């Protein structure tokens, strides 16, 4: 029976401060508002050109050549050919804005798409793409735009497209490096395990979290494109039928001594446009850099100081029907394999390349099974290879890891040969994951509910998924499911976050649940509650559970069988009861005796059906 965590009842008066969006915070800054207002005003002037200008920008009347500003119908005067400077300025705004959009847009699309792919996939794809963009970066962009001028037909749009291609490497490097930093975040792993496709993870989680620097760069790229287009037009590159601040400045230069005011108008509009873009980018950067009222959880990959979750060893579990392990190493019971194994691992090996080009095995020849409805503990001290074993099964190892196995079958499907693709199909529905640090596994940018629903939308409608998640949030003991559903991760406690993640993990009715130290990051009083909940859900859904822990007390409390790991190998395995009664390996004896040194968490052991049986 699951009881409600008293902390949850005491705490749900959630912190009132919700994070406001970056755009809203930008509007609270004088610099941001002024820059945005100036930019919008200029763009509006360009859009209203047909209404605001009396003459066509190319219409010439020599009677008004060099007309002074304020001449009726020629508000800013006439240029040396008798063209309306006001009409030409408005048209030039549109040309500049389109140039900024094409140049920055091309650079952003190419740089962002390939940066995401390169950073996320890594390995050879990363190598090839990085090399290609680095090569592109070595080309002198402006010279090439000028050299290719005849080929492109001389339109400013095509010149800006080519310029945009040369802007892409900067964005590529930025995005690629940001993605490399984000791809190992635990909430990205969590999204992967919940069954989301890579494009969905990239667009929803990764791109969303790195959008700030991209938006800032977009403002600077657009200002660069506007400036370059004006510069090229000043040099005479481009059609003289297209009004541009560059060509207007060039014309004004000829009259600089007789009509210096003609130089003022294009320079003023151009400076305002470029200046507002640059200042807007700066203001947005300041907004993102400023600390916010509400803190998001630290989502860096861990390891915080490990806190022992000791429980009293429950030795009297009825395990007569418990299947035994088929571990290749010392086993205290017969090595028979459980029939109908849900998970079968044979000779699993995980290696990492070292600086001297050798490979270091962190998991070395591990073999075991998990049958439907049983809980298998994977126990060992820090660094023994437990998480690497679990991550191998989940497909969450980093790209540099080398994984091999004679067999790695999940629900009868050997996934070792087509590891990535095969696992993608199984995640969420057949295999689910409960992480060690619940806060770090929730994306701070989205509400808890939206993240949990997301993992279900491939199987049911959004409405059904929402109803399922709300039901499960209540089932896992969250007092106000709707409130938690609508909260951001920083607005709920660690215990509540772990309950929410457990709800998300079991929502797809998985057959196999992998829990990696699910209580380590939690308060001592919450740990027992979460263990109770896990036991309840496991027996309710009949799942097989692989429980990673460093604590033999937790094993005694929950598990049917246990594997003891040390330095990447299984040193002993068998039924929990047997191992506790008669530990063979010195290391197992040490781990068991260490339970007595740790704090006692559980004093109110619930009587379960198993106990009664």
Ligand X SMILES: Nc1ncnc2c1ncn2[C@@H]1O[C@H](COP(=O)(O)OP(=O)(O)OP(=O)(O)O)[C@@H](O)[C@H]1O
Give least dist CB 145 to ligand X, A. 43
In the complex, the smallest distance separating the C-beta of residue 441 from ligand X, rounded to whole angstroms, is 15
With H, G, I as helix, E, B as strand and everything else as coil, classify residue 369. strand
Q: Which residues bind ligand X (CB under 6 A)?
A: 303, 352, 362, 380, 382-388, 398, 550
Antiparallel, parallel or unpaired: β 341-353 and 407-410: antiparallel
Nearer to ligand X, 18 or 360 (CB): 360
Q: Which residue is nearest to ligand X (CB)?
A: 387
CB of 178 to ligand X, least distance (A): 20
State the Rg of the chain over Cα. Answer: 32
- What is the smallest separation between the CB atom of 568 and ligand X, expressed in angstroms? 7
**Rounded-to-integer distance, Cα 292 and Cα 27, Å:** 15
- Smallest gap, in angstroms, from Cβ of residue 498 to ligand X? 17
**Which residue number, 121 or 237, has a Cβ lying nearer to ligand X?**
121
Min separation Cβ 34 and ligand X, Å: 47
Hey, what long-range contacts does 331-336 have (CB within 8 A, 24 or more apart)?
331/572, 331/573, 331/574, 332/572, 332/573, 332/574, 332/575, 332/578, 332/579, 332/582, 332/583, 332/584, 333/574, 333/575, 333/578
Alpha helices in 183-317 (DSSP H): 186-193, 198-200, 207-209, 211-234, 245-254, 261-289
- 176 vs 193: CA distance, rounded Å: 22
Cβ 384 to ligand X, closest distance in Å? Answer: 4
Q: Which is nearer to ligand X, 285 or 302 (CB)?
A: 302
Q: Judged by CB, which is closer to ligand X: 258, or 354? A: 354
> Smallest distance from the beta carbon of 363 to ligand X, in angstroms?
7
Residue among 357, 366, 406 nearest 385 (CA): 366
Helix (H) or strand (E) holding 434: strand 431-434
CB count within 10 Å of CB 109 equals 13
Instruction: Kindly state the tokens that stand for 281.
Output: 């980018």
387 vs 466, beta carbon nearer ligand X: 387
Angle at the Cα of 77 from the Cα atoms of 75 and 79, rounded to 5 degrees: 145
CB within 8 Å of 392: residues ≥ 6 apart: 348, 350, 363, 403, 405, 408
Give the nearest distance from C-beta 521 to ligand X in angstroms.
12
Of 377 and 380, the one with the shorter C-beta distance to ligand X is 380
Q: Which DSSP string do the residues of 152-209 spell out, in sequence order?
A: TTT-HHHHHHHHHHHHHHHHHHHHHHHHHHHTTSHHHHHHHHTT--HHHIIIIIIHHH
According to DSSP, residue 71 is labeled B
Nearest approach in angstroms of CB 42 to ligand X is: 50
- Provide CB contacts within 8 A for 338, sequence distance 6+: 323, 324, 369, 371, 374
Q: Is the previous residue joined to 303 through a cis bond, with omega within 30 degrees of 0?
A: yes
The helix/strand/coil state of 102 is helix
Cβ-based nearer residue to ligand X, 380 or 455: 380
Q: Which of 246, 438 has the CB closer to ligand X?
A: 438
Nearest CB to ligand X, comparing residues 24 and 402: 402
Beta carbon nearer to ligand X, 384 or 484: 384
In terms of CB distance, is 24 or 123 closer to ligand X? 123
Tokens of 66: 């060099």
Burial environment of residue 373 by CB neighbours within 10 A (0 to 12, 13 to 18, 19 or more):
middle
Residue 378 Cβ vs ligand X, minimum distance, rounded to whole Å: 8
* Angstrom distances, CA of residue 124 to CA of 30, 89, 169: 46, 50, 18
């Amino acid at each position: 029976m699951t009881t409600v965590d008293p902390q949850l009842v005491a705490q749900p008066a959630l912190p009132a401060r919700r994070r406001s969006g970056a755009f809203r915070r930008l509007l609270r800054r004088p610099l941001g508002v002024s820059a945005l207002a100036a930019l919008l005003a200029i763009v509006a002037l360009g859009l209203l050109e047909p209404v605001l200008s009396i003459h066509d920008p190319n219409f010439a009347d020599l009677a008004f050549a060099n007309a002074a500003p304020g001449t009726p119908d020629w508000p800013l005067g006439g240029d040396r050919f008798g063209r309306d400077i006001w009409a030409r300025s408005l048209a030039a705004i549109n040309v500049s804005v389109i140039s900024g959009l094409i140049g920055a847009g091309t650079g952003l699309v190419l740089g962002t798409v390939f940066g995401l792919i390169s950073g996320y996939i890594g390995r050879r794809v990363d190598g090839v793409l990085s090399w290609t963009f680095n090569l592109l970066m070595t080309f002198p962009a402006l010279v090439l735009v000028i050299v290719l001028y005849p080929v492109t037909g001389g339109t400013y749009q095509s010149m800006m497209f080519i310029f945009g291609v040369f802007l892409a490497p900067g964005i590529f490097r930025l995005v690629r490096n940001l993605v490399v930093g984000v791809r190992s975040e635990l909430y990205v792993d969590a999204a992967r395990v919940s069954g989301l496709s890579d494009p969905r993870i990239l667009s929803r989680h990764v791109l969303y979290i790195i959008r700030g620097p991209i938006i800032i760069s977009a403002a600077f790229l657009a200002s660069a494109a506007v400036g370059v287009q004006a510069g090229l037009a000043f040099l005479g590159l481009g059609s003289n039928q297209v009004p541009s601040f560059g060509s207007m400045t060039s014309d004004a230069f000829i009259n600089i001594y007789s009509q210096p005011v003609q130089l003022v108008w294009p320079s003023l509009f151009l400076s305002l446009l470029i200046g507002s873009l640059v200042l807007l980018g700066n203001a947005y950067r300041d907004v993102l850099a400023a600390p916010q009222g509400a803190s998001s959880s630290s989502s860096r990959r861990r390891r915080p100081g490990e806190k022992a979750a000791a429980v009293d060893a429950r030795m009297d579990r009825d395990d007569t029907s418990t299947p035994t392990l088929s571990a290749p190493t010392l086993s205290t019971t017969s090595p028979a394999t459980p029939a109908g194994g849900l998970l079968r691992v044979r000779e699993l090996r995980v290696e990492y390349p070292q600086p001297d080009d050798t490979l270091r095995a962190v998991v070395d020849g591990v073999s075991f099974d998990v049958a439907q409805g049983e809980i298998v503990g994977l126990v060992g001290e820090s660094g023994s290879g437990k998480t690497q074993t679990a991550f191998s099964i989940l497909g969450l190892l980093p790209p540099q890891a080398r994984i091999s196995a004679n067999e790695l079958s999940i629900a009868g499907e050997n996934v070792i040969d087509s590891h990535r693709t095969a696992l993608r199909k199984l995640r969420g529905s057949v295999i689910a994951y409960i992480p060690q640090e619940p806060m770090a596994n929730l994306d701070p940018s989205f509400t808890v509910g939206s993240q949990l629903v997301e993992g279900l939308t491939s199987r049911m409608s959004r409405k059904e998924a929402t109803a399922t998640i709300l039901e499960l949030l209540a089932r896992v003991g969250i007092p106000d499911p709707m409130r938690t559903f609508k909260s951001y991760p920083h607005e709920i406690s660690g215990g509540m976050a772990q309950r929410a993640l457990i709800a998300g993990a079991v929502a797809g009715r998985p057959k196999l649940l992998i829990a990696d130290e699910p209580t380590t990051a939690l308060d001592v009083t919450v740990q027992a509650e979460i263990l109770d909940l896990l036991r309840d859900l496991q027996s309710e859904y009949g799942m097989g559970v692989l429980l990673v822990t460093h604590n033999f007390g937790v094993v005694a409390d929950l598990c049917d069988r246990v594997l003891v790991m040390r330095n990447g190998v299984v040193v002993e395995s068998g039924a929990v009861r047997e191992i506790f009664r008669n530990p063979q390996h010195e290391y197992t004896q040490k781990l068991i005796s260490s339970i007595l040194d740790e704090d006692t968490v559980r004093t109110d052991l619930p009587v379960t059906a198993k106990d009664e049986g």
